[in-house]
Chains A and B, each alone.
Chain A
Amino acid sequence: MTDYDVVIIGAGAVGCAAAYVLSGYKINIAVLEKEADVAFGTSGRNSGVVHAGFNNVPGSLKAKLCVEGSRRFEELALHLGVKYIKTGKYVTGFSDSDRAELERLLKQGKENGAEGLEIVNGDDIRKIYPNIQGNFALWSGETGIFDPFEYTVKLAEKAYDSGAVFLFDSKVVEIEKDESGRFRLSYERQVLGKPEKETASLTAKAVINCAGLYAADICRMAGIERFDIRPCRGEYHILDKKYSQMVDVPVYPVPDEENGVLGVHLTPTVSGNIMIGPSAEFLEEKDDYSNEEDIMHLLKEGAELLLPELKGAAVIRSFSGIRPKLIDKQGEINGDFVIESSKESPGFIYMVGIESPGITASMHIAEMAAGLAESALGVKFAKKTHRSSVKEEMPDMSSFSPMVCRCEKVTERDILKAYDDILKIGAVPTLKGIKNRTRAGMGSCQGSFCTADIAEVLKKHRGADISEITYDGPGSELFFGRLK
Chain B
Amino acid sequence: MERKETIVVGAGPAGMAAAVQLCEMGFRDVLIIEKESGPGGVLRQCIHPGFGLTRFGKNLTGPEYKALDEERLYGSGAELCFNTTVMDIRQGEKEGIVLSAHTPEGIKEYMADAVILASGCRETGRGALEIPGTRPAGIFTAGTAQAMMNLKNTKVGNRIVIVGSGDIGLIMARRFTLEGSEVLCVVEKSEICGGLDRNKKECLEDFGIPLLTSSTVSCIKGKKRVSAVVVRDKDGNEQEYLCDTVILSAGLIPEDSMAERDIEGLFYCGNVLYVHDLADDVSVSGEEAAIDAAGYLIAKMKGKNFDSKYSSSNVGSARDERRAFLAERNALKLKESSSGRKYIICTMCPNGCRIDADNFTGGRCSKGEAYARNEKLDPKRILTSTVKVKGTGDVIGVRTDRPIPKTLMMEGMKLIRDIEADQSVKVNDVIAEDFLVKGVKLTASDSYRSEKIR
B132: nearest chain-A partner, CB-CB: A293
Which segment of B57-65, B72-80, B134-142, B311-319 sits at the interface? B134-142
Q: Verify A292–B153 contact, CB threshold 8 A.
A: no
Determine if A482 and B154 form an interchain contact, defined as CB atoms under 8 angstroms apart: yes
User: In the complex where A471-B137, A481-B154 touch, is A290 in contact with B102 (Cβ < 8 A)?
Assistant: no
CB of B200 closer than 8 Å to a CB of A: no
Please determine whether B83 and A400 come into contact, CB atoms closer than 8 angstroms.
yes
Interface extent on A, as a size class? 35 or more
User: What 1/0 mask marks residues of chain A from 281 to 297 whose CB sits below 8 Å from any chain B CB?
Assistant: 00000011111110010
CB-based contact A483/B125 at 8 Å? no
The residues in A between 437 and 460 inclusive whose CB is less than 8 angstroms from any CB of B are 444-449, 451-453, 455-457, 460
B388 at interface by CB-CB < 8 Å = yes
Kindly identify, within residues 94 to 150 of chain B, every residue whose CB is under 8 Å from any CB belonging to chain A: 102-106, 122-123, 125-128, 130, 132-138, 140-141, 143-144, 147-149
Check if A480 sits within 8 Å of B157, measured CB to CB: yes
Bound CA–CA A288/B219 (angstroms): 13
Any chain A CB within 8 A of the CB of B223?
A: yes
Q: Which residue of A lies closest to B156 (CB)?
A: A479
- Alpha-carbon distance A44/B141, docked complex (angstroms): 25
Task: Contact check, A315 vs B127: say whether CB atoms are below 8 A apart.
Answer: yes
Q: Mark B434-452, 1 if CB is under 8 A from A, else 0.
A: 0000000000000000000
Contact of B454 with A402 in the complex, beta carbons under 8 Å: yes
A463 at the interface (CB under 8 A from B): no
How far is it, in angstroms, between the C-alpha of A467 and the C-alpha of B126 when the chains are bound?
A: 23
A457 touches B454 (CB 8 A): yes
A444 touches B417 (CB 8 A): no
- B271: interface (CB < 8 Å): no
Out of A292, A409, A455, A473, which one reaches B224, CB within 8 Å? A473
Taken together as a complex, chains A and B put the C-alpha atoms of A317 and B218 apart, in Å, by 16
Bound-state CA distance A475–B138 (Å) is 11
State how many angstroms separate the Cβ of B170 from the closest Cβ of chain A: 18
Query: 8 Å CB contacts to A: which residues of B146-177?
Result: 147-149, 151-158
Q: Are B148 and A452 in contact (CB under 8 A)?
A: yes
Residues of A within 8 A of B37 (CB): 402
Cβ 8 A contact of A478, one of B137, B149, B388: B137
Given the known interface contacts A444-B257, A482-B393, A484-B395, the answer about A316 and B128 at a Cβ–Cβ threshold of 8 Å is yes
CB distance from B356 to the nearest CB of A (A): 41
The answer to whether A466 touches B224 (Cβ under 8 A) is no
When the two chains form their complex, are residues A479 and B154 in contact, meaning their CB atoms are under 8 A apart? yes
A400 touches B153 (CB 8 A): no
Q: CB within 8 A of A289: which of B106, B135, B152, B388?
A: B135
0/1 per residue, A100-118, Cβ < 8 Å to B? 0000000000000000000
Count of interface residues, chain B, beta-carbon cutoff 8 Å = 54
Q: In this assembly, does B386 line the interface, its C-beta being within 8 Å of a C-beta of chain A?
A: yes
Q: Determine which of A237, A400, A404, A444 lies in contact with B103 in the assembled complex, contact meaning CB atoms within 8 Å.
A: A400
- A388-443 interface (Cβ within 8 A of B): 400, 402-404, 406-407, 409, 411-412
Contact of A291 with B141 in the complex, beta carbons under 8 Å: no
A232 CB-CB contact with B under 8 Å:
no
Report which of A292, A446, A470 forms a contact with B127, defined as CB distance below 8 A: A446
B429 within 8 A of A: no
A238 touches B127 (CB 8 A): yes
| A318 contacts the other chain (CB 8 A) | yes
Q: In the bound complex, do residue A315 and residue B123 qualify as a contact, i.e. CB atoms below 8 Å apart?
A: no
Interface: A336 (CB within 8 A): no
* Contact yes or no, B104 A477, CB < 8 A: no
B225 touches A (CB below 8 Å): yes
User: Whose C-beta in chain A lies nearest to the C-beta of B248?
Assistant: A448
Residues of B within 8 A of A479 (CB): 148, 154-156
- A355 on interface, CB distance cutoff 8 Å: no
8 residue pairs bridging A and B, Cβ less than 8 Å apart = A317-B125, A319-B135, A403-B35, A452-B148, A471-B136, A472-B224, A479-B154, A480-B155
Q: Nearest 3 CB-CB pairs, A to B? A: A317-B127, A475-B224, A471-B137
Q: Could you list 14 further interchain pairs (A-B, Cβ under 8 angstroms) beyond the known A291-B132, A318-B130, A483-B155?
A: A319-B135, A400-B105, A402-B454, A404-B454, A406-B85, A451-B140, A452-B147, A455-B148, A466-B154, A474-B224, A478-B137, A479-B154, A479-B155, A482-B153
